Amino acid sequence: MDTFRDKLIPVTSILLGVVVLWYVFAVILNTPFQRDLDRRANETSTFSELIGKTLSQPKPTLPAPHQVAVNFFENTFLRPITSNRSLVYNAWVTLSSTLLGFAFGTALGIIIAVGIVHVATLDRSLMPWIIASQTIPILAVAPMIIVVLGAIGISGLIPKAMISTYLSFFPVTVGMVKGLRSPEIMHLDLMHTYNASRSQTFWRLRVPASVPFLFTSMKVAVAASLVGAIVGELPTGAVAGIGAKLLAGAYYSQSIDIWSALVAGSVVAALLVMVVGIAGRIVDRAMGGRPA
């Protein structure tokens, strides 16, 4: 009951507030254009008619929530999955490069973190550059990576996945360095007294200690990876994917399409973060973790 009172009611009421505000703004923002239309058609609408019309324009400035919902439902459930207007198809295209990039990024991040923890030279020379690498707006580099790789014949999944990799390795590296260093001196000393080798200390102490850190940073990484995949689709000239859907919507002013693509992207992001979270909990339980 406590979670109901402490969480559900505030969250739902604020979400409801957002929806109401959305409707209000939809009416306000769409009114000037609607008045313009009416004047050209020599019609005078009453106030309630005006509101009704502003909420059902084909290309509104701000589509009303129900328009987005209808568009999202149509494009998700009513279209055949193979159609390139289907959101499921586009989400799948984005998802596949997200997952590939995320897998590469996680592997790369773990390898770099292991190197940094074990090789002092790498720790002092590489770490500052890894932090600096994230101040580079890599998303700005995305079009070049895609065009250049396309020029030498690599296209499709790999270039997009590379951008996702670049965005997702950083949180994993930082989290894993923290995690692999998280065992206390006491525990490390205990391993010493057992005469444990470096690899034994690594596998039996450092790796288990780092697992919670790994999953926390993987949640951040998977979200970053999705952003990378979406932006990676922009310069490919709107072939397929959620980013392509956004770009096509922007070209043809199909604002409802843009919004429903955004909703689809958000749903994918939420699902990905949830899956990583669940996987983390399962691994935690399998390793004998107790709920804190």
Please report whether residue 147 would count as binding another protein according to CB under 8 A. yes
Stretch that binds another protein, among 39-47, 145-153, 179-187, 283-291 (CB under 8 A): 145-153
| Cα 217 from Cα 18, distance rounded (Å) | 30
146 is written with which tokens? Answer: 């895609």
Task: State the minimum distance, in angstroms, from the CB of residue 6 to another protein.
Answer: 6
Distances in Å between the alpha carbon of 277 and those of 134, 216, 285? 24, 8, 12
Contacts with another protein, 42-81, as mask; x by CB under 8 A: -------------------xx-------------------
Query: For the chain, what is the radius of gyration of the CA atoms?
Result: 25
Distances in Å between the alpha carbon of 203 and those of 104, 110, 197? 22, 14, 10
SS3 of the chain: helix, strand, coil, percent, to 5? 80, 0, 20
CB-based contact 141:77 (threshold 8 Å): no
Task: Scan residues 187-246 and list those touching another protein (CB under 8 A).
Answer: 219, 223, 226-227, 230-231, 234-235, 242-243, 246
Residue count at the site for another protein (CB under 8 A)?
Answer: 59
Tell me which of 48, 135, 193, 199 binds another protein, using CB under 8 A.
135
Nearest to 140 by CA among 168, 174, 166, 106: 166
Amino acid making up residue 239: V
| Identity of the residue, 88 or 269, whose beta carbon is nearer to another protein in the bound complex | 269
Please report whether residue 137 would count as binding another protein according to CB under 8 A. yes
Residues that bind another protein (CB under 8 A): 6-7, 10-11, 13-15, 29, 61-62, 120-121, 123-129, 132, 134-141, 143-144, 147-148, 151-152, 219, 223, 226-227, 230-231, 234-235, 242-243, 246-247, 249-250, 253, 255, 258-259, 261-262, 265-266, 269-270, 273
